[in-house]
Amino acid sequence: MADRPNGERSGATPAGRAKGTPGRVGGLGTFGGVFTPSILTILGVIMYLRFGWVVGQVGLGGTLLIVTLSTSITLLTALSIAAIATDQQVGTGGAYYMISRSLGIETGGAVGIPLFLAQALSVALYTVGFAESVTGAFPFVSAKVVGLVTTLAVATLAITSARAAIRAQYVIMAAIVLSLLSLLFGSGLEGVEPQGVGPSLIEDPESFWVVFAVFFPAVTGIMAGVNMSGDLANPSRSIPKGTFLAIGAGYLIYMSLPVILTLRADTATLVNDPLVMRRISLWGDAILIGVWGATLSSAVGSMLGAPRVLQALARDGILPRTLSWIGKGSGEDDSPRVGTVLTLGIALVAVWYGDLNLIAPVLTMFFLTTYAVVNVAAGVERFLGSPSFRPRLSVHWIFSLAGAAGCGSVMFLINPAATVAAGVFVLGIFVWLERRGLEAAWGDVRRGVLMMVARASLLRLRRAAEDPRNWRPHFLVLSGAPTRRWHLIELAADFSHHNKGLLSVATVLRDTTVSYERRRAMERNVEDYLAKRGIDGLVRVISAEDPFAGTELLVAAYGLGSLVPNTVLLGDSESDEHRPRYCKMVEHLWRSRRNVVIVRDADRVGFGDRKRVDIWWGGLQGNGALLMILGHLLKTSLAWREAVVRLKMVVPTEAAAEDARRNLADMMEQARTQLELSVLVSEDKPALELLHESSRSADLILLGIAAPDQGDFAAYFEQLRERTSDLPCTVFVLASETMAFREVLFPQGDRP
């Protein structure tokens, strides 16, 4: 994650860096932009209309435990938020922005979409709560009508002016303070015994975790300030400070209220009367004013936050292209009016069908999912210790991962089925985005994670003994320009079962004046070319005056630790002038303990119909075992799965043929290579004549060739080329690796 010159990491796409970007001049401060919306969302509908029910269901001790557990999760999440916010400038989208810039655009989108839905449903939660409190005071009023009208009014205010909505929250905060003072100086109900509250006094009390699920949205207000990140003057300073102050103030209030409720009301009243606070306050109507203000301000906060998350999702290309218009902003403050209308639609549907106890648990799952991923993002960043991650507020990764574990554990304790459903929903979005192949204009932490895993794996491989059971060919393909010799890459991909083995494509340029930047651009072009054809491979382009010497140096130096290509695949030499040097290079590769696979004439005759492969075999010794392995890999590949792969063995007489078939039948059964055995009788015919007669109609021929240390390899190879010149595409195989290939075929020790 490279730093920009001004200290900002690679951020959103150009569309996302329009008005309202981080650090906007004249933006909101800590108190107005973070603390106020956060504390007003914390001290909201759950506190006024469900806190008495919580106390009645689980008692004073259970309530204090729920408050502490809930606040602990939000505090750990706030620490993670602070770490990320003090390391990077947080743009529009709040938690989505943080996650996508740390864990990648797919993970950000997978969490951002549920986060938007959660905040849209939050609007319904608060307006339903407002309607419930209104009907409690005025029973003749329809709660559904009040909820719908209130939702429309909140959306209108958010569309009209975000600043006006923020200023209105100061008045609402004063009303909440007044209501809490009225409650503090109130008196208890007549006939209530101190500490006479608890689940033992209810016929069918709800379980602890069901009550927890209803209460938890009360402490999710920390996202209200984060979601306004694009409107803050200094997000990296305001988000941590304002969030911690709101959490601290909310915790003190939530730990005090259960004591007051326990001492002033009985269990039945707490459970059955949502407005019990009104009855035990000094001025009861102050509670109504407070609940109305809190619910409306929280609804406004969610109505401001949800569209901004949606706007960020659209601008980053998370939403389908047909919905890119959702990312457009309006006015000087870049207000997401289109997103506000969509949020309004979701909220209206939820208001029509929902109630508090139904909506709250759904929100809990969505918010806990978001919190867990935010914690993972911060924990991974800190654990990796990348030089680019330098938060002003340093939080140990243990705390972040503890927060993530807490979120996951609580989700399962609340509702395992809903947890699995939420996980499947998020995973489904992730897979959808992964398949779309989105490209972000910023770096993320995934490369750091992969580097850490790669480092650990390489070090383990260094200490691990070579194991025939896990051997597979890792090809280095000397293709030159891939467009001209695509058949080499294609055959290597077939042998390695398309992306199951390590495949590298190399080109040696004769021009030594080519710059590094130009070579890197050529590598990227080849990578794109491979990707478009469904092949994942590494690419290396080097320069050398002598391409043969360059190839030898490349093979010697290419790789990392024990992870090096074990098989070199190349085309045949077409130039008589260069063939001696070509043969010397092949000999060098063989002595470097690299298996060599030479493909001849594929560029001229191709691979035919891929229906028949002939492997000329002389036994397990030498190249024999490797030929069988390559034949099996070809037969089980996608492109050659319909082919008949025959292992052809030549014997002098019919009697020898019968013995060979009988002796090899058991070996073929044990090898399980799906190869067919064909024993040919020469009857004094030259081997070359038999080869031409038997394999003239094959699509591909595999031949083992003699080791270079058995004589003049250049003369031998020249003669071999002449004798096979009129055959179909022929592959010469030269085994050199120290691996005992017969142990790859027979790993259980029961070898022939």
Which pLDDT tens digit goes with each residue over 95-118? 787 778 777 788 788 888 888 888
Query: Would you report the helix, strand and coil content of the chain in percent, each value rounded to 5?
Result: 60, 10, 30
More confident residue, 122 or 166: 122
Closest-CA residue to 377 (of 406, 401, 411) = 401
pTM attached to this predicted model: 0.64
State what percent of residues in the chain have pLDDT above 90.
19
On the CB side of 450, CA atoms within 13 Å amount to 6
Q: What is the pLDDT of residue 752?
A: 56
More confident residue, 364 or 509: 509
Torsion of CA 222, 227, 228, 231, to 10 degrees: 140
Residue 248 scores a pLDDT above 90? yes
Are residues 376 and 110 in contact, defined by beta-carbon separation less than 8 angstroms? no
Highest mean pLDDT among 16-30, 359-373, 494-508: 494-508
- Mean pLDDT to the nearest integer, 205-229: 80
Highest mean pLDDT among 3-12, 198-207, 544-553: 544-553
Give residue 581's pLDDT band: very low, low, confident or very high (50, 70, 90): very high
Q: What is the pLDDT of residue 411?
A: 85
Q: What is the pLDDT of residue 275?
A: 83
Tokens of 538: 């590494």
Tokens of 348: 């209206």
- Mean pLDDT to the nearest integer, 211-224: 81
Are residues 684 and 712 in contact, defined by beta-carbon separation less than 8 angstroms? no
Residue 93 scores a pLDDT above 60? yes
pLDDT in tens, 462-484: 776 666 777 888 899 998 878 78
**Summary mean pLDDT of the chain:** 82
Comparing 78-92, 397-411, 675-689, which segment has the lowest mean pLDDT? 78-92
Q: What is the pLDDT of residue 739?
A: 66
φ, ψ (nearest 5 deg) of residue 396? -60, 140
pLDDT in tens, 302-333: 888 888 888 888 888 888 877 778 877 776 66
Comparing 82-86, 177-181, 606-610, which segment has the lowest mean pLDDT? 82-86
| d(C-alpha 475, C-alpha 470), whole Å | 15
Write 315-323 long-range contacts (CB < 8 A, 24+).
315/12, 315/13, 315/15, 315/16, 315/18, 315/92, 316/12, 316/13, 316/16, 316/100, 316/105, 316/108, 316/109, 316/440, 317/13, 317/105, 317/438, 318/105, 318/108, 318/109, 318/112, 318/113, 318/433, 318/438
Comparing 98-107, 227-236, 333-342, which segment has the lowest mean pLDDT? 227-236
